[in-house]
Copies of this chain bind each other. A is one copy, B any other.
Amino acid sequence: MRDGDRVTRAAARRRMSVGELAIWRSLVDTTAELRRILGAQLLRDSGLSPADYAVLLALSEAHGSRLRSSELAAVIDWERSRLSHHLGRMERRGLIRRDDCSTDSRGAEVSLTEDGAGMFRGATAPHALAIKRNFADALTPEQFEALADILRTLQNHLRPEQTATSREDLHV
């Protein structure tokens, strides 16, 4: 029996305390504000939205900077429809390209354009710096450890099956 299970059962009867609720709200507010700050900064620095960045990151890390549409959707955990809309907009802006797939005529292969690759390269460093400044610099090593533990616990609570420590399914 895993630790999370024991906690879950033990807590199952209790009502949620107002302190716990306040922490939940603070979590939502604080992460929202961080996303807002970093998203705005990213846009100013590089003209890319967080969504653009996620797409370009996944493509950059892909073998040959090229992915099937549904693979890409799986990597960044988006609905296919959302991805299709967004790829349309990114294609119009010249960031990515969609070609017919050679092995499956239904499929599309998404790849980086020169422009897209360049924009992404230019965005990387300032974006990392912004994350460092606004987030990483604030916390002590102990706090990082505690946060990692908490996130592992939560992930494990939400999706009990998947090994919570695999680094593969992390993306921006």
Contact = CB atoms under 8 A, between A and B. Distances in A.
B7 A155 contact: no
A70 B6 CA distance: 46
A150 B135 CA distance: 11
Interface in A9-24: 11-12, 15-17, 19-24
A167 B21 CA distance: 11
Contacts of A4: 138
A131 interface: yes
A77 B131 CA distance: 23
A49 to B, nearest CB: 14
Nearest to A156: B138
A37 B106 CA distance: 32
A33 interface: yes
B158 A34 contact: yes
B170 A16 contact: no
A170 to B, nearest CB: 5
Nearest to A9: B137
